A and B are shown apart, each in its own frame.
Chain A
Amino acid sequence: NAGVTQTPKFQVLKTGQSMTLQCAQDMNHNSMYWYRQDPGMGLRLIYYSASEGTTDKGEVPNGYNVSRLNKREFSLRLESAAPSQTSVYFCASISSRVSGWRGETQYFGPGTRLLVL
């Protein structure tokens, strides 16, 4: 099993450009998450999807949109990239729907490093 995969691994954008970060998991998990990691800030939740067809905002959703394409895939879109969105983006998944989650491990992808000039 590949677990959680993310593409691309690294991307450079100019301010105002758009792009979509892709995430896929092959563990038949229900819930998927997008985080960003910035120096000194820890990981912060951007959006999550408790199940196919549902998405909810996390702590820092502004400037992002998400799509839960199917049970496997959860994409993150930057419509008009800004330098403040320079970060490392992680996708994660867990088996349960988040409302019922009490103690399952989150599985993380390797991350996408995004630089916005």
Chain B
Amino acid sequence: KQEVTQIPAALSVPEGENLVLNCSFTDSAIYNLQWFRQDPGKGLTSLLLIQSSQREQTSGRLNASLDKSSGRSTLYIAASQPGDSATYLCAVFGNQFYFGTGTSLTVIP
């Protein structure tokens, strides 16, 4: 069974700092990996999707990388802003979707 782990569980940084969120998975037989954002009391919003054949994807200040062979992905957020405060989840798709437990990010003004 696929296990998806996200470290750290919580992170607090001052505004303007660059930061990295980590995601690891145990089974490298995946088709793709997605990063989501979840605001308190809300559903999930997709941020980036990386196909298994790709190494990275970028959207604005976000950059996600994928190393399928080692079972790792990182989400890089540049020049963090208070509006980035949310929980970030990664999910992998193999035979079904598996989600990590998330990293709760707080950006302090």
Please list the residues of chain A having a beta carbon within 8 angstroms of any beta carbon in chain B: 4, 33, 35, 40-45, 48, 58-59, 90, 92, 98, 101-103, 105-111
Contact = CB atoms under 8 A, between A and B. Distances in A.
A103 B97 contact: no
B43 A111 contact: yes
Contacts of A33: 97
B42 A106 contact: no
Chain B residues touching A, range: 20 to 34
Given A102-B31, A106-B34, A45 B42 contact: no
Nearest to B48: A105
Interface in B69-109: 89, 91, 93, 96-97, 99-102
Interface of B: 4, 31-32, 34, 41-46, 49, 51, 89, 91, 93, 96-97, 99-102
- Secondary structure call for the B interface: strand
Nearest to B5: A42
Nearest to B32: A103
Given A103-B31, A103-B51, A108 B44 contact: yes
Contacts of A42: 4, 89, 99-102
Contacts of B43: 4, 90, 108-111
23 contacts: A33-B97, A40-B101, A42-B4, A42-B100, A42-B101, A42-B102, A43-B44, A43-B91, A43-B97, A45-B97, A101-B31, A101-B93, A102-B31, A103-B31, A103-B49, A105-B34, A105-B46, A106-B46, A106-B97, A108-B43, A108-B45, A110-B42, A110-B43
B89 A43 contact: yes
Contacts of B34: 105-106
A77 to B, nearest CB: 21
Contacts of B4: 42
Nearest to A108: B43
Given A101-B31, A106-B97, 4 more contacts: A42-B100, A43-B99, A102-B31, A110-B42
